[in-house]
């Protein structure tokens, strides 16, 4: 099975835990964190119509995380990125996990989208039920995570290593 992410990065993410991100994040990721400051500090909007930085959990897939922004009135779930140059499957998978969590919590989510902060562009995405191939990829990725064997894993995608903040610490890097 082809994985659309590097599961070793999850290991390193947990390994580094509460250490300062400055010890392993690159400049793009640090800038991305700044783009999320208004969400993470609940200062995007003072309106009660926006849920921002809210923790969420999806029982169906046993996933947890945080949403960036949900407009209750417009029923729009938004995942913010500093700069989007390409729509990666992982971006869509984040939206799917958030979408399913919000639905399970009783919210009426009618639209999902990605937002590119630096150029103010919005990338509407089809809901999971309207994009069966991507939903299947999402579910296969979750299955692969659940069945992951750390010892036998070999990264095959050099691009994953090039963009990974943990690349310098990884013994499986292709660089």
Q: What is the mean pLDDT of the chain?
A: 84
Domain boundaries, the chain: 27-144
User: Is the Cα dihedral 153, 7, 145, 91 positive or negative?
Assistant: negative
Domain 27-144 has CATH 3.90.1570: yes
pLDDT digits (tens, 9 = 90+) for 139-153: 998 998 888 888 888
Q: Are 94 and 128 in contact (CB under 8 A)?
A: no
Residue 20: pLDDT band with limits 50, 70, 90: low
DSSP-derived pairing of the beta strands 111-116 and 76-81 = parallel
**pTM strictly above 0.85:** no
Tell me the Ramachandran region of residue 88: left when phi exceeds 0, alpha when psi lies from -120 to 50, beta otherwise. Answer: beta
Radius of gyration of the chain from its Cα atoms, rounded to whole angstroms:
17
Structure tokens at 50: 């926006």
């Amino acid at each position: 099975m082809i994985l659309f992410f590097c599961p070793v990065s999850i290991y390193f993410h947990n390994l580094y835990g509460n250490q300062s991100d400055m010890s392993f994040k690159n400049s793009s990721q640090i800038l991305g964190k700044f783009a999320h400051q208004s969400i993470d500090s609940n200062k995007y909007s003072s309106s009660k119509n926006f849920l921002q930085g809210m923790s969420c959990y999806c029982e169906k897939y046993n996933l947890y995380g945080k949403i960036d922004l949900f407009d209750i009135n417009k029923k729009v779930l938004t995942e913010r990125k500093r700069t989007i140059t390409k729509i990666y499957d992982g971006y869509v998978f984040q939206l799917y996990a958030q979408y399913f969590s919000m639905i399970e919590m009783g919210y009426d989510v009618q639209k999902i989208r990605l937002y590119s902060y630096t150029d103010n562009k919005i990338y509407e995405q089809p809901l999971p039920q309207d994009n069966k191939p991507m939903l299947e990829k999402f579910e296969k990725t979750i299955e692969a995570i659940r069945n992951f064997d750390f010892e036998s894993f070999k990264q095959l995608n050099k691009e994953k290593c090039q963009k990974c903040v943990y690349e310098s610490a990884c013994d499986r890097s292709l660089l």
